[in-house]
Amino acid sequence: MTFDDGPIPDITEFVLDTLKQYNAAATFFCIGDNVRKYPDVFQQILDQGHAVGNHTFNHMNGWKSDDEAYLSNIELCEKQLNLDTNLFRPPYGRMKKSQSRQLPINKEIIMWDVLSGDFSADVKPEVCLEKTIKYTRPGSIILFHDSLKAAANMQYTLPRYLAHFSEMGYQFEALPML
């Protein structure tokens, strides 16, 4: 289970509380500027034992950025995180091949196989839940967002999703970090 775009007060804290209820671990792909603005919320993620990955400093779109600016934005996020993580997720799930080839050798690009769709105002919460459950398989990497834009759908879907799979005996683990 992964969350992109936080940390954000209240929203990330809702995620953390919900994960705790189900003894679930997750990986948070954090935006460096949000870590800068909300260090206490970021610290809660770490204190609760979740994994953290780099999601650039400003949610930069690699396809719309030159390589130097994009790689500098990744490095700026890395400095803000101030911890060793090999996990990186490109915003929008896209980056240029030239950018991926220039990532530090220890960086692992982490994508997903189940996109919850929580960020879309066109997706009703019930549909978000139904589709996320439908496409989940053992070992899936699920993508939710701990952002203002996704809050309504995520807050409806996440507890129901966790309840559904917990009842089936699933466990939720964070991705391994360095």
Q: How many CB atoms lie within 10 A of CB 172?
A: 16
Known catalytic membership, residue 145: yes
Q: How many CB atoms lie within 10 A of CB 7?
A: 27
Known catalytic membership, residue 4: yes
Separation in Å, CA 139 to CA 136, 148, 151: 8, 28, 25
Backbone angles phi, psi at 155, to 5 degrees: -70, -25
Q: 4, 5, 118, 146: which one is catalytic?
A: 4
Token pair belonging to 22: 């189900």
Q: How far apart are CA 73 and CA 58, in angstroms?
A: 7
Q: 50, 55, 59, 145: which one is catalytic?
A: 145
Report, as residue numbers or ranges, the catalytic residues: 4, 145
